[in-house]
Amino acid sequence: MRDIVVPTFVLFLICTIVTMALALTNYATREAILEQVKLQEESARKEVFSEAESFEEVQGIEAVIDSNEDMKCVKKVYTSIKNGETVGRVYSVETTGYGGAVSVAVGIDKGGKTTGVKIVSHSETPGLGSKAADEPFISQFTGITPKEPLIVVKSGGSKDEEIDAVSGATITSKAVVKAVQAALMVDSELNKREGDS
């Protein structure tokens, strides 16, 4: 009986100590991690809308986002400001790729033209899906003003709406296109509502 009790107690004690150490580490580093995430998101906003001097989070966008299932992946919207004037918006969007969540920042100016797209974080396969964050794929979104919904094509897209997929990473390509399309749809809806008021 003693042969079972002593090792069980020792194992229980080790597990308790490790669990407490992990909880303490999590508690001690939580603020630093949140601050790093905040800095990374701010950097992404500046990268996709470099013309803006500052950004203000738009409140109360839930009614707009919840009006369409395709727009629910938009998590936050920021007004881009230059010289005290609104010059556009930046969208924080999260879709699902092959390996999990793909977080994307999308900048759109007042005319509906994309100013930039950046993949902020992802869990895609290194060497395949991860290439979606690189050139030339990501640059296809900059400076376009699509008149129709974006679509993924295998190669040779000639219109603004046709985005060439990353070879071997169609699912990831579609996830990024979905994120940009959602941002364009929310932007269009917000512009309509501003025009109505």
Per-residue pLDDT of the chain (197 residues; tens, 9 = 90+): 677 888 899 999 999 999 999 999 988 888 888 888 888 888 899 999 999 999 999 998 887 888 788 889 999 999 999 999 999 999 999 999 998 999 999 999 999 999 999 999 888 888 878 888 888 899 999 999 988 999 888 877 677 788 888 888 889 999 999 999 999 999 999 988 876 55
> Residue 57 corresponds to which tokens in the numbers above?
């989070």
- For β-strands 74-82 and 85-96, DSSP reports them as antiparallel
Q: What is the pLDDT of residue 157?
A: 65
Residue 180 lies in a domain: yes
Residue 17 lies in a domain: no
Give 12: exposed, middle or buried? Use CB within 10 Å, 0-12, 13-18, 19+. exposed
Q: What is the pLDDT of residue 197?
A: 55
Q: Which domain holds residue 137?
A: 47-196
Q: What is the pLDDT of residue 71?
A: 87
Alpha carbon 35 to chain centroid distance? Answer: 17
Q: CB within 8 A of 177, min separation 6: which ones?
A: 150, 151, 152, 163
Q: CB within 8 A of 161, min separation 6: which ones?
A: 144, 146, 147, 148, 149, 150, 151
Residue 94 lies in a domain: yes
Asked if the bond preceding 126 is cis, omega within 30° of 0, the reply is: no
Q: How many whole angstroms separate alpha carbon 190 and alpha carbon 71?
A: 12
Residue 82 lies in a domain: yes
Helix (H) or strand (E) holding 85: strand 85-96
Q: How many whole angstroms separate alpha carbon 193 and alpha carbon 197?
A: 6
Residue 16 lies in a domain: no
Residue 26 lies in a domain: no
Residue 2 lies in a domain: no
Residues 137 and 173 sit within 8 Å (Cβ to Cβ): yes
In total, how many domains does the chain have?
1
Residues 55 and 43 sit within 8 Å (Cβ to Cβ): no
Residue 166 lies in a domain: yes
Q: What is the pLDDT of residue 130?
A: 85
